Amino acid sequence: MRQVLAYLGQFRVVAASAVVAIALTRSAAAQSGSSRSAAVGAADRTEILFLGTAAGPPLRLDRSEPSTLLIVDGRPYLIDCGIGTIQRMLRAGIQSEQIKTIFFTHLHADHDLGLADVMANDFLRLNTTSSSTSINIYGPPQTRELVDAAFHYITMGFRAFAAEPGATRDALVNGEFKSPFVAHEIQGAGLVYQDDKIRVTAAENSHYVLMPAQSRQQMKSYSYRIETPHGVVVFTGDTGPSDAVVALARGADVLVAEVEDFDQATKFVNRTAEQNHWPPQRAAAMMAHMREEHLNEEDVGEMASRAQVKSVVLYHYNPTDPAVYVAGVKKRFSGPVFASADLDRYCLSTDAGDRARNPSILRPCPEGSLRK
C-alpha cells in the first residue's frame, strides 16, 4: 500500500527501519517484475491449476486446503480459498491481485479461511500501484459478512502505518480504509455470473442436506458449471450424491469432484470419538455428515456416468494411494480419471488432432506440474 511504502521510504535512513524497508521494496520489486503481464498462463486454452487438494481440517503438510484456479485465455478465476492458498499461489508464480473474480462453493472453514491472506496481499499490491481495480467475490449467503470481517481483520494490520507522519492517506475515507473487495451473494440455483470468457451456473447440492431447514435458508452449498471457450468444467465443491449436480454436470468435459474414503473416515471418527470421550450421538452425527454429505469413489463414478461427463479429476481428499481412488471411480465410470495433487495443472484442448486421438479433451498440461 502506498502510504506504507512512502512511510518506509521516508525513514529508510533509520537503520532498523531500513532492514524492513529494503526487504519490502525487494519483495515488491520481485512481485512487480514477475507480474508485468496481466495474463496468467497461456492464451488460447483453459487450464485447471490445483492450488490445494486436501480434504478438510486438520491441516496437512503435503496438501493445502481446497483451492483451484481456472485460467481461461490467461485470465484466472479462483474457486474456493482454503488455508495455504496464498503460499501455493506464490509457488505457482501467480500474483493474487491478478485474480479479479473469486467464487466460493460454500463457507466451511477449509474452503474459505485462506481468504484474508489473499485479500491482504491484494490490498497491499493494489495500493502500491494506485490501482482502482475491484476484486469481486461471489458466494452463498453470508459471503458479504465473511468479506467484511476479513477486510476489517487485515486493515487492522495497516492502521499503524497510515498513522505515521508522512504517510499518504489516499486509501482512507473518513479515516477508514477503502475496500477494493465487492461481495456478491448467490441466493439460489441458476446463472450467477457471465463475462466475455466464462458463464457460470450454480446448483444447490446436498452438502447441507442434514441441516435443519431454518439453517439451510442462511447457509447454502453450491456446485458450479463453468462454460469456457474450450469446454465445460463442473466443480462439485463439497456434496453428497445429488441429482441436482448430475443435472448440472450433464455432458460436461470435466467433472472436478471431491472424494472421500468412507473406511478411512469411519476410522478417523471412531478414533477421535474414543480419544475425546464423545457421547455416541456426537460420533454418529459426524459419521452421518461424512457418509451423506460427501462422496466416496463409487458415488463419484456413478454421478459421472449418469451425467455422461467426458472426464473426472479428483481433489479434496487425503489419499494413502491415489491409484486406489481412481480405481474406485472407474468401477462405475469408463472415461479417464485423474487424481490431482497440489500444483498439478490440466489443460483443455480444442485442437482437432487432439480430439481425434483422445475423446476426452482434458490432459495434464504439456509443461507439467508446478510441483518442485
Residues that bind Zn ion (CB under 5 A): 56, 108, 110, 238
The grid coordinates listed for 40 are 496468467
Of residues 41 and 52, the one with the C-beta less far from Zn ion:
52
The CB-of-46 to Zn ion minimum distance in angstroms stands at: 24
The CB-of-206 to Zn ion minimum distance in angstroms stands at: 11
Of residues 205 and 360, the one with the C-beta less far from Zn ion:
205
DSSP 225-288: EEEETTEEEEE--S-SS-HHHHHHHTT-SEEEEE---HHHHHHHHHHHHHHTT--HHHHHHHHH
Of residues 290 and 361, the one with the C-beta less far from Zn ion:
290
Of residues 56 and 335, the one with the C-beta less far from Zn ion:
56
d(CA 367, CA 46): 14
d(CA 246, CA 302): 9
Of residues 48 and 198, the one with the C-beta less far from Zn ion:
48
Which of 78, 67, 80 minimizes the C-alpha distance to 40?
Answer: 78
> What are the residues whose beta carbons fall under 8 Å from the beta carbon of 10, sequence distance 6 or more?
166
The CB-of-80 to Zn ion minimum distance in angstroms stands at: 8
Of residues 238 and 253, the one with the C-beta less far from Zn ion:
238
Of residues 75 and 108, the one with the C-beta less far from Zn ion:
108
CB atoms near residue 47 (< 10 Å): 22
Q: Determine what percent of the chain falls in helix, strand and coil, rounding each to the nearest 5.
A: 40, 20, 40
C-beta separation of 238 from 106 below 8 A:
yes
C-beta separation of 236 from 223 below 8 A:
yes
| CA 186, chain centre distance (Å) | 17
The CB-of-184 to Zn ion minimum distance in angstroms stands at: 20
The grid coordinates listed for 243 are 441429482
The CB-of-109 to Zn ion minimum distance in angstroms stands at: 8
Q: What is the DSSP letter of 59?
A: P
| CA 151, chain centre distance (Å) | 18
The CB-of-260 to Zn ion minimum distance in angstroms stands at: 9
Of residues 73 and 238, the one with the C-beta less far from Zn ion:
238
The CB-of-238 to Zn ion minimum distance in angstroms stands at: 4
C-beta separation of 20 from 55 below 8 A:
no
The CB-of-28 to Zn ion minimum distance in angstroms stands at: 34
The CB-of-56 to Zn ion minimum distance in angstroms stands at: 4
Length of the chain: 372
CA angle 58, 63, 68 (to 5 degrees): 105
Of residues 52 and 335, the one with the C-beta less far from Zn ion:
52
R_g of the chain, CA atoms, integer Å = 22
The CB-of-68 to Zn ion minimum distance in angstroms stands at: 12
Of residues 101 and 205, the one with the C-beta less far from Zn ion:
205
The grid coordinates listed for 310 are 467426458
